[in-house]
């Protein structure tokens, strides 16, 4: 499933979308927790939108993220660390004061996949809310 939207922003947003740590925070669900080298990062995802009261017994889902700089934009490709898990692709393309955001999500297959899947529409709502105010 894919969803895209255009956000009117200012020049400062370019620095945010090109920084994996800041860009993913805009989703309110994904957070970079480590660098693996070669534009690859370890990311944690959780269903709740706030980090204020993280519970130790809460299930966190680990993703491996690859970053692709495409000149006119940047793409973050997230694949769940376990085989056959969920996948997301978040692309940011900047043109003048317009930022186009494209999110594609693919739920992992199999009956045993119990990892939470956050719909792309939900993620783009958070991104618009945060980056639209920068």
* Range of weakest confidence among 3-7, 11-15, 46-50: 46-50
**Stated pTM of the model:** 0.89
pLDDT band of residue 59 (cuts 50, 70, 90) is low
Residues 6+ apart with CB under 8 A from 129: none
Helix (H) or strand (E) holding 6: strand 2-8
pLDDT range class, residue 11, cuts 50, 70, 90: confident
Q: Which residues are 91's β-sheet partners?
A: 75, 102
Identify the pLDDT of residue 34.
94
Selected residue with higher pLDDT from 88 and 8: 88
Give yes or no for residue 8 having a pLDDT over 80.
yes
């Amino acid at each position: 499933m894919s969803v895209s939207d255009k956000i009117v922003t200012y020049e400062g947003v370019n620095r945010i979308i090109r920084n994996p740590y800041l860009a993913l925070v805009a989703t309110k669900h994904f957070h970079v927790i480590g660098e693996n080298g070669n534009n690859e990062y370890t990311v944690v995802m959780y269903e709740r939108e706030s980090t204020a009261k993280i519970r130790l017994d809460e299930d966190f889902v680990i993703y491996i993220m690859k970053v692709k700089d495409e000149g006119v934009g940047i793409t973050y490709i997230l694949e769940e660390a376990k085989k056959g898990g969920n996948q997301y692709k978040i692309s940011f393309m900047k043109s003048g004061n317009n930022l186009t955001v494209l999110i594609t999500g693919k739920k992992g297959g199999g009956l045993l996949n119990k990892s939470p899947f956050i719909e792309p529409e939900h993620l783009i709502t958070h991104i618009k809310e945060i980056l639209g105010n920068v």
